[in-house]
Structure 1
Amino acid sequence: MTSDSPLVEKIEVEAKQFYFETPTGRGTDQDLTLYYDETNNFGNLKLSAAGLNVTKSDNFVLGGIVLKPNQNAGDASEFRKLFRIQPTADEVKFDMVGHGAFEKVLGSSKLNYVLKWLLERDIGIHYTNLNIVNWFIVDIIDSIIACDEFASYFLMHRELKNELHNIATKDMPSFLALINKYDYPNVEREATFEFLKELYSFLVANWPETVFAPTNALKEIILRARVVPELCFLVGNNPGVLIKGIDSFFLYRLCAFKNSSHIFDEEKSVREAIEKYRITHDGREIPYQFVDSKQHFEIQLSDIVAGFLGRYFSFIEKTPTKSLIAFKKDMNQAQKSNVSALRALIEKSDALSNVLLHRVTTIDSDNKSDYFIFDTHLSPHLKATNR
């Protein structure tokens, strides 16, 4: 593990602390090499009376390329020639793919070069896609269903979180003001009743015209939950600190692929997030290192992958269903070609390991993305509500 940092006592982390093997997860024991970059790195997400400390809440994406043993990313000079990179450019970056709205980027011929380059060389991709608003809201639902009397709601926990996210984002300034009033995510035990009472009033004030069984269940559980003594995941935290750094998202990937090598771009914030940990599996340290992207073509490709996916997932989150349907229907040939290539890359990577593709977002977002890339059916509630 390369490091120029002074020697400090590291935090010992066992891989199983951050990644639990599940019956549906596969392919994590392989010897792979994962290269990383990230986009929309928010650092620490904080809440105050003025709102969030970020001007926009685009999805955070940690991603890049995956190489199997004895596989390489191809000849960098050949790629630069194909990509028409100026000799004076130190490295290839996502900004060279395209500018402007996502629709324009999706039609970029340079994006097509990158996606086909990966496909032709059988190179996989990996990503963690995080909806940051959904991430800090879910503890409300998780805290309630952790109580025995509400455990029956666990079977629809994702649906409840989906509906809460939908209603909260209808009036984010008011929602943020509400939770900030109670020092979220540190709701005092004696304030639990009033917090849930105000949250219920917020739901009623922003109640959607078209509702479904999970929408009504959300209203019911928030009303009934006012009897709970505390919201267990919302006590003992630092007031106003919604997401304390990006450590856990990197650690999840490192701990999931414990037999792989992990190579990160040399960035101060990323190094500080990761290097304080010594991550082990069965007594063996999981290797990771930081490198200069200018010297590593694989990191440059990862920059493009992460940058494009960050734009894509944020587009999915923000585009109403009817607009998404219309755009998909009217795509030009270049856009269709890139969607097709992205689909093939995702399928190839999923075949290698489904854990490489990690989405931490709402049901609505997953459904819209699967519709856009894989032509799956849209849920009736999305069409009815135009979310």
Structure 2
Amino acid sequence: MKTFDIGDIRKYTKRSAPLANFDGAYTFYYDETNNIRKFHVREFDFNSAFTDNFVLGGLVHEGTAPDVQSLIDSFNLQDSVKEVKFKHIAKGDFLDCMKSQRLTSFFRFIGSNDLYVHYSSINILYWSIVDIVDSAISHSEISQQLGPPFANMLKNDLYKLSKIEIDSMISLFRRFGYPNIKQDEVLPFIESISNLFVDYLDDMEFHLGLESLRQILKEAKNKGSLPFVTGEEDFVLIRDFSQFYLRPICIFKNSTHIFDNENSIAESLAEYKILDGSQEIRNYSFVNSQSNQFTQLSDILVGVVGKLHSYLNTSTRDKIQSDFCKLNTTQTENIDLFLNSIDESHDKNMGFLHSTDSYEEMSKFEVIRESRIRA
């Protein structure tokens, strides 16, 4: 059994979000969407769409849980339906889902019953490439002094380039067994990825970030090392998602965490003895969602968040602005209710909401907000 002390992760997380309350006692319910279990490179593509975020989250409350039976009854589902699923509430892409009146009932109920939303959203392509930047920065004292904002700018531009040059990136990953770059291939890998920058260096959108990264990679080339993309498994970009389940267990140590059954994750977490100093933390459980209404309702929430991020990841700002000029009344109400649930949850505890994503995609969410403010 592996021993895992939560001290460092809690200290780092508190420092990163000093206004969040990670010591409160809450009850978190979880489901997930786009859980592909493993993300890897195939010969010409990935095993799953890189534009779909992995989302883990659901509903959260303090104190006694409210009675949600009236909400479930209001869905008027067929008697044969044994548990509520997102697919019963809304269908289609994000904007199609916003046409659902059942979704309206869901968000109205949350807003009036002391329920909040929480989630971790992981952009799997972004997560898969950021170690290239972190590896390069590890050799550059100046870059380290510039701190996270500078590193995130580099990661953002590498992500944007990767989306445009996705076929070239896949070819590069296949050629070098990424993320397991062999010692004698570090230099050729750096040269190959730097060559992808050339056509974009004169573009003002990319110049600062890619030119900075190119120079930092030169330093890494001189050192002959990319420490965070070696010693891994060839072609396996994300081995599993257990670390994202472990994160809230650790940072919200005084809370109760109730996950929908996921055998592979339960087995992974069972390998850890989670400690807070000398005290063992036992604050989580896995349940059959058929027996827990809150995990069922959590499936609705993560379904919406997953659809949102797929929409953002595949849409330009101009398209979003155009789409939001054509919303019908139900779509408008649902989007406003959704945004309100996020805002109220953030106001309750900003630690409820967590995203690992690029500036590029997160900024598109602000386009949605601005579109609704102007309406």
TM-score normalized by structure 1?
Answer: 0.88
Q: Secondary structure at the match of 1:74?
A: coil
Unmatched tracts of structure 2, length 5 or more: none
Q: What amino acid is the match of 1:12?
A: T
Q: Deviations over 1:191-247 (max 9, x none)?
A: 221111111112224668553532443344345543232001112222222112111
Which residue does the alignment assign to 1:265? 260
Which residue does the alignment assign to 1:41? 35
- Aligned identity (percent) is 27
Which residue does the alignment assign to 2:17? 24
1:329 matched to 2:325? The reply is yes
Which residue does the alignment assign to 1:108? 100
Structure 2 CA distance for partners of 1:75 and 1:186, relative to 1, 3 Å: closer
1:68 is displaced (CA, Å) by: 0.3
Which residue does the alignment assign to 1:13? 4
Q: What amino acid is the match of 1:79?
A: L
1:101 is displaced (CA, Å) by: 2.4
- Is the 8 Å Cα contact of residues 66 and 123 (structure 1) preserved in structure 2? yes
- Equivalent residues in 2 for 1:49-198 (5 A)? 49-55=43-49, 57-70=51-64, 72-76=65-69, 78-149=70-141, 150-152=143-145, 154=147, 155-198=149-192
- Is the 8 Å Cα contact of residues 51 and 313 (structure 2) preserved in structure 1? no
Q: What amino acid is the match of 1:304?
A: I
- RMSD, aligned α-carbons: 2.1
| Aligned mate of 1:250, from 228, 245, 251 | 245
- Is the 8 Å Cα contact of residues 59 and 115 (structure 2) preserved in structure 1? yes
Which residue does the alignment assign to 1:369? 365
Which residue does the alignment assign to 1:286? 282
1:300 matched to 2:293? The reply is no
Q: Deviations over 1:122-142 (max 9, x none)?
A: 201100010000001000100
| Aligned mate of 2:205, from 200, 208, 211 | 211
Q: Which moved more, 1:95-104 or 1:206-215?
A: 206-215
1:376 is displaced (CA, Å) by: 9.7
Q: Distance in 1 between matches of 2:63 and 2:39?
A: 38
- Is the 8 Å Cα contact of residues 126 and 159 (structure 2) preserved in structure 1? yes
Q: What amino acid is the match of 1:245?
A: D
Q: Secondary structure at the match of 1:239?
A: coil
Q: Distance in 1 between matches of 2:219 and 2:45?
A: 29
Q: Deviations over 1:16-59 (max 9, x none)?
A: 35443215341110010000000000212222434322255410
1:317 matched to 2:309? The reply is no
Q: What amino acid is the match of 2:68?
A: D
1:308 is displaced (CA, Å) by: 1.1
- Is the 8 Å Cα contact of residues 18 and 251 (structure 1) preserved in structure 2? no
Q: What amino acid is the match of 1:309?
A: V
Structure 2 CA distance for partners of 1:94 and 1:128, relative to 1, 3 Å: same
Structure 2 CA distance for partners of 1:374 and 1:124, relative to 1, 3 Å: farther
Which residue does the alignment assign to 1:199? 193
Q: Deviations over 1:83-120 (max 9, x none)?
A: 11122211111001121222111121111111111111
Q: Distance in 2 between matches of 1:217 and 1:165?
A: 15
1:249 is displaced (CA, Å) by: 0.5
Aligned length: 366
- Is the 8 Å Cα contact of residues 320 and 367 (structure 2) preserved in structure 1? no
Q: What amino acid is the match of 2:245?
A: F
Q: Distance in 1 between matches of 2:244 and 2:115?
A: 22
Structure 2 CA distance for partners of 1:352 and 1:83, relative to 1, 3 Å: same
Q: Deviations over 1:150-178 (max 9, x none)?
A: 43554411111111111111121221111
Structure 2 CA distance for partners of 1:82 and 1:208, relative to 1, 3 Å: farther
Q: Deviations over 1:337-375 (max 9, x none)?
A: 111111211122112221110010000111111231366
- Is the 8 Å Cα contact of residues 102 and 311 (structure 1) preserved in structure 2? yes
Which residue does the alignment assign to 1:380? none
- Is the 8 Å Cα contact of residues 27 and 62 (structure 2) preserved in structure 1? yes
Structure 2 CA distance for partners of 1:375 and 1:122, relative to 1, 3 Å: farther
Structure 2 CA distance for partners of 1:136 and 1:23, relative to 1, 3 Å: closer
Q: Distance in 1 between matches of 2:317 and 2:110?
A: 30
Structure 2 CA distance for partners of 1:294 and 1:263, relative to 1, 3 Å: same
Q: What amino acid is the match of 2:15?
A: T
Q: Distance in 2 between matches of 1:22 and 1:151?
A: 17
Which residue does the alignment assign to 1:6? none
